[in-house]
Structure formats: structure tokens, C-alpha cells
Structure 1
Amino acid sequence: MAKTAVKNGLEALLGATLDVQDTVYIPRLKTHFTVKALDQAEMTRARDQATIPTRKGEKELDAQLFNAVLIARGCVDPDFADKALIAHYGASDAADCVTKALLPGEIAKVLTAIMKLSGFDDEEELIDDAKN
């Protein structure tokens, strides 16, 4: 019986990469999307982009916009920032293109794949992170 070597935390980190990708099948389109993990800086930029001013002068996270921005940043193929794709859907930017090109269930499926690659394992954790 072969014994598998177990790495310690330091060895694991020294040998790891943050460039993690996977594919998500979209049945309606009969194709796979390639998605990637988002690092902390990308998540922060996405949160900042999706934080909007309220009528009371405060700031609030727009959860739908946050999800669309995460997909726009985490989707390698297709590139939702592609000018032809944005023009085709009459979108204002990549996040708007996500909401116009994908059905709600497809958005959830792609978002879940991106978040899992980014280290979030369950939906409750995803929801809590989106709220904070």
C-alpha cells in the first residue's frame, strides 16, 4: 500500500498558485464558460464597484450588481467586457452585459462556480460575504 506524503501548511502555500480555473456548462447555450478564482483585491474592487449611495447619503451594497461584477471579473471565457458582446446586448458595461445575457439560474450557477474556486464552500458563507 503506497503512502501519500502529507504536506504541512508552509509547503502547501509555497507550492500553491492563485491561478485556479474551471469550466461551467450552460445547457441553454450548449457551451462551457471558463471561470477563475478571484483574489482578495478583486473581491474588494468588485464590492467597491457595487456599493452605491442611498437617498440618506449612506452607502449600500447592491447585491445583484455585486454578483454581476463578480461574474464579469471571474469569467475568463466569454469575456463580458468584450465590446462586441456589450454592443450586442445593448449593455452599458461588463456587469450590465452579464445581467442581460444570462438567465437568473445561469447567473447563480456561474457565480457559485467562481465563489467555490475562490474558497467559499457553501451558499450561506457566500450570502454573508456579499452582505458585508
Structure 2
Amino acid sequence: MAKGLEALLGATRDLQEEVYIPRLKTHFTIKALDEDAIERARAQATTGKDGSVDDALLNRLLIVKSAVDPDFNDKALKDHYEAFDAADCVKKALLPGEQARLIQAVLALSGFVGDAELIQDAKN
């Protein structure tokens, strides 16, 4: 059997990772997102007649969709931060750098890697 075929047949898309948030002294658990989840988030973040994407909103939506723990849709959490929805809760509960740390982890877990990493992987 070809290596690529064998790898695909044995692969799982149910990937999770813990991301440490130093200020909170705890780990958040995130999961990989598939193309459909990313496209739904992009559609939600598309604003105006020109079809432009609100990048900050898109990032918050990706965090919401990938977060296993904590659940930003939790009513008590939204009430605590006086957030009107889960994306607003992310904005109010997390510092910008914490959001960036989570987005980087979500994208990496979902298969988006930098060119340098791709070249290094190809060499191995």
C-alpha cells in the first residue's frame, strides 16, 4: 500500500491540544477545525455590501468554535463578562495576546503551518 494512502486511512481529524494561558494559570483545550467550520466562521464575520471580512471577529469566532474548555457559550461566563454572545465573551474575557496565542494554536492544529515548518518537515 502506498505511504500516502496508508497515512490517510489511519489518520484522525479529531485533534485536541492544551494551550497554557499564563495570566489565568490554566490550560484551555482547543480542537482542530475542519474547512466547513472555518467557512461558517468566515461567513459570520463577513460584513457590509463589499463582502469584507472583520478579521478580529473572525479570530474570535474561530476561538469560540475550537474551544472545548472553556465553553464561551456558557451562560454564566457570558453573564459574568456581560457579553451578548460567545465572540463578545472572548473579546471581554481574554487579552489580545491571549487571543493571538489561541488563534496560532488553532491554526497550527488545523493544519496551517508556516513555510519554514513545511520545508523542515519535507527535509525529514
User: In structure 2, what is the Cα distance between the partners aligned to 1:72 and 1:31?
Assistant: 17
Which residue number in structure 2 is paired with residue 84 of structure 1? 76
Matches within 5 A, 1:8-27: 8-27=3-22
Q: TM-score, normalised by structure 1?
A: 0.83
Q: Please give the root-mean-square deviation of Cα atoms over the aligned residues, in Å.
A: 1.3
Q: Please report how far the alpha carbon of residue 59 of structure 1 lies from its aligned counterpart in structure 2 after TM superposition.
A: 1.7
1:62 aligns to 2:45 (yes or no) = no
* Residue 37 (structure 2) aligns with: 42
Report the Cα distance in structure 2 between the residues aligned to 1:122 and 1:92, rounded to whole angstroms: 35
Query: 1:110 aligned to 2:110?
Result: no
SS at match of 1:121: coil
* Corresponding residue to 1:51 among 33, 46, 52: 46
Partner in structure 1 of residue 112 of structure 2: 120
Amino acid at match of 1:80: F
Output the CA distance in 2 between the equivalents of 1:112 and 1:75: 13
Residues 1:97 and 2:92 are matched in the alignment? no
Which structure is higher in helix share? 2
Separation (CA, whole Å) in 2 of partners of 1:32 and 1:95: 19
TM-score relative to the length of structure 2: 0.88
Q: Distance in 1 between matches of 2:77 and 2:95?
A: 16
**SS in structure 1 at match of 2:13:** coil
Q: Which runs of 5+ in 1 are unaligned?
A: 1-6, 124-132
Identity %: 60
- Point out 4+ residue stretches in structure 1 off by more than 2 angstroms: none
